[in-house]
Structure 1
Amino acid sequence: MKKINLLLLAVLAIFASCSGDDTVARSTVTIDISGLERLENGAEYQAWISNGAEVISLGRFTDVNFPKSFEALTGDVEGATQFLLSVEPGNDSSTEISQSILLSGDFVGNAATVDVSQNFGSYTSASGQFVLQTPTDNVSTNENSGLYWYVPATGQPGLKLPTLPAGWKYEGWVTVPGASGDVDLSTGRFTNVNNADESDPFSLNINPAPDFPGEDFINENVLSAYGVNTLPNLVGKQVFITIQPIFDNTSSSSSISPFVLRPLVGTVTQEAGSSVTNTMQINTASFPVGRVTRD
């Protein structure tokens, strides 16, 4: 009986050892992405794989040097049908994926092409028109210091953009000279092109603004806090729309800096009072793309 028990224990030990090897077997997932920018305010990128029922973290990173390799359980890697890259708030202890999914793609064999299309859809029909004006004060000599995305002749919105998924908002920007170099000033965040955006810190609010996204850059006290010491003349300046993660660790409804997703860009060519609106161009060629492989 003693010999049988010893033999049984040996068999169980061998079985446990083999089972342990299976559970700790790991495989590699390598990602190679172009077009990303380093995040601010402690935010991080996080890589994930999914089998359709479960999303499994591969790890977080902040630098944008590629390729990068991550290890995960072989069963999880082999069973994955999709790769996802999210933007996560800094100092976040949650183990759940955020709503701000940036890139994704389905595995075909052992590789996946990843881009923004699964999450954001197509921008081939996007367009933008805007005019210069400063309606929120009673001064008529500073009209080149503000812009709004609408068409005054028709009263129609000047932006045509897809509806965003949860976790993201649009934001308008203009680049102006500052005391220490160019400064990106936000016109405010929005999700609906038919309504005003969420903030107007640079306006004076003596009079109402158009009910469309835009901003008067005429509040000298606020401008000086951004290193802009004179009212900016926006003629000739760069204007663009970004898609921003909504959590970007700022307490205000506008961001500190523009995110890498910039679907529309333009240059101000028409001064205030012109019957011709300024137009924007599609900029989706700048969106990040990548390839993910597993072995």
Structure 2
Amino acid sequence: MRKFNVILLAACLAVLSSCSGDDTVARSTVTVDISGLERLENGAQYQAWISDGVDLTPLGRFTDVDFPKTFEALTGEVDNATQFFLSVEPGNDSSPAISESILLSGNFVGNAATVDVTQTFGSYTSASGQFVLQTPTDNVSTNENSGLYWYIPSTGQPGLKLPTLPSGWKYEGWVTVPGASGDVNLSTGRFTNVNNADESDPFSLNINPAPDFPGEDFINENVLSAYGVNTLPNLLNKQVFITIQPIFDNSSTGASIAPFVLRPLVGTVTQEAGSGITNTMQINTASFPVGRVTK
């Protein structure tokens, strides 16, 4: 009987030891410090990940841009991590898989990684932009300053030179105009090919065809008023920019709800319609988010 009690006691201790071990699984922290991000809206979220080169481990999701942020994962996963990724995930997404819209990444050297957009988007050192003001989709000649297109009329060549985007992203053009309650960013439409028209033209009238390049006539007063713009905008001296948008950031109009933080080209309209001179844009990659991750 005594022998049986000893065996029973040993078994109980083993079970208790096993349960205790489950409660004390070793975990380690990963600290993420990023500058240049903007808060996400409309349900979208940032998600941090680490990888050992084969498997991805999710660290956590967030929408705010208060840094640094600290995440926890199993010590083995943290110790074996060779890469860090930051993705943009659509709202109400229950999938455990990473989206195609990977924003930042970097490789760990020792216990630290510098993260930026280079691995995802490559270099923008050769990017450029030229555009002209015109409103070809109607028969009115007095509103030519209310539309813009990224092409060079004298040569018929595209006005944008941009790297091909990876899956998960699209380019989009924007112009900032006065509205009833402050400045309004109006989209010229999303695109992936600078040699073709973009995906939408809600502000145009379509009486006549537009150039087969990205751009828009802002002359449909009914649509403009829905955005709080109550008169045809004169684009002279207004800000124009190109963004890189997550591919899921869309609506039925073929335009994004708001411009994303990645703005590789920016410019100001200095040449009005009919001047025969294109407006030029400047590279803006110094504004791209960068960060440091430590484990």
Normalising to structure 2: TM-score of the pair?
0.95
Give the equivalent residue in structure 1 for 2:7: 5
CA-CA distance at 1:274 after TM superposition: 1.6
> Which secondary structure state, in structure 2, belongs to the residue aligned with residue 86 of structure 1?
strand
Percent identical among aligned pairs is 82
Alignment of 1:31-180 (within 5 A): 31-180=32-181
Q: Is the 8 A contact 1:41 1:248 kept in 2?
A: no
- Partner of 1:31, secondary structure, is strand
Distance between the aligned counterparts of 2:275 and 2:252, measured in 1?
Answer: 37
Give the structure 2 partner of residue 234 of structure 1: 235
Q: Give a deviation string over 1:197-248, Cα, whole Å, max 9, x none.
A: 0000000000000000000000011011111111111010000000001112
Whole-angstrom CA distance in 1 between matches of 2:107 and 2:150: 36
| Gap change, CA 1:281 and 1:166, over 3 Å in 2 | same
Q: Say which SS state the counterpart of residue 285 (structure 1) adopts.
A: helix
Maintained 8 Å contact 2:176/2:239: yes
Which residue matches 1:208? 209
**Structure 1: segments with no counterpart, 5+ residues:** none
- Deviation at residue 273 of structure 1 after TM alignment: 1.1
- Checking the alignment, whether the CA contact within 8 Å between 2:28 and 2:74 is kept in structure 1 is yes
- Contact between 2:202 and 2:253, CA under 8 Å: does it hold in 1? no
CA distance in 2, matches of 1:262, 1:51: 31
Separation in 1 of the partners of 2:22 and 2:102?
34
Q: Point out the more displaced range, 154-163 or 248-257.
A: 248-257
**Any conservation in 2 of the 1:48–1:59 contact (CA below 8 Å)?**
yes
Task: Quote the Cα distance in structure 2 between the aligned partners of 1:54 and 1:176.
Answer: 46
Q: CA-atom RMSD, angstroms?
A: 1.6
For 2:235 and 2:128, locate their aligned partners in 1 and report how far apart those are by CA, in whole Å: 20
Match in the other structure for 2:221: 220
- Cα separation, 1, equivalents of 2:278 and 2:18: 73
SS in 2 for 1:205: coil
Equivalent position SS for 1:75:
helix
User: 2:135, 2:217 within 8 Å by CA — same for their partners in 1?
Assistant: yes
CA contact (8 A) 1:132 1:271 kept: yes
Equivalent residue letter for 2:255: S
The residue matched to 1:105 in structure 2 has which SS?
strand
Distance 1:148 1:249 in 2: 21
8 Å contact kept, 1:89–1:249: no
Task: Tell me, in whole angstroms, the C-alpha distance in 2 between the residues paired with 1:238 and 1:202.
Answer: 18
Which residue of structure 1 aligns with residue 275 of structure 2? 274
TM-score by structure 1 length? 0.95
Deviation at 1:165, TM superposition (A): 0.6
Unaligned runs of 5+ in 2: none
Distance in 1 between residues matched to 2:80 and 2:16, nearest whole Å? 27
The CA distance in 2 between the partners of 1:154 and 1:249, in whole Å, is 33
Letter in 2 for 1:49: I
1:78, 1:90 → 2: CA distance? 31
